[in-house]
Amino acid sequence: ALLPAMNQLIREGKRVTALFGSKTKNEVFCPESAISCILTEDGTLGEKGTVDEKVVQAVKDHAIKEILACGPEKMLERVLDMANDLRIRYQASVERVMKCCVGICGSCTVGDENVKTTCKDGPIFTGEELQEFPSFGKHE
């Protein structure tokens, strides 16, 4: 989900540090011009571990100014908390099942009182927006 954004940033001459996490080496991909750290839960490629275990160190090592993230919502929530602690900008691609794709059916809503749909309002939300959704991080 973030590959187009990464490629655009690279074309603009920005330095991109990518942390890729997956269960196994068969799920890993990376633009060659990105500085990357590959983590697999089973240790079959790169370091053994998860992305959220590496975020704080990567931010410090590479002077990261903004985090763009996608993946499981529990991980996105943990990374949001880290971004807040580090006082850096954060954007996440939130995954939901999208049935109608025009915001009518409600299958892809995020939030309780401040309801937004991923199909119409997202799927990218800022850290500030995500903090307004009390149910963020609880979606399976």
Phi-psi sector, 111: left (phi>0), alpha (psi -120 to 50), beta:
left
Q: How much is the average pLDDT of 31-46?
A: 76
pLDDT level of residue 1 (50, 70, 90 thresholds): low
Give the residue among 103, 91, 102 at the shortest CA–CA distance from 128. Answer: 91
pLDDT digits (tens, 9 = 90+) for 46-93: 889 888 888 888 888 888 889 999 888 899 999 999 999 999 999 999
Where, residue-wise, is CATH 3.40.50.80 in the chain? 3-93
Q: Which fold does the domain 3-93 belong to in CATH?
A: Rossmann fold (3.40.50)
Q: Can you give the pTM of this predicted structure?
A: 0.81
Query: What is the rounded CA–CA span in Å between residue 115 and residue 109?
Result: 6
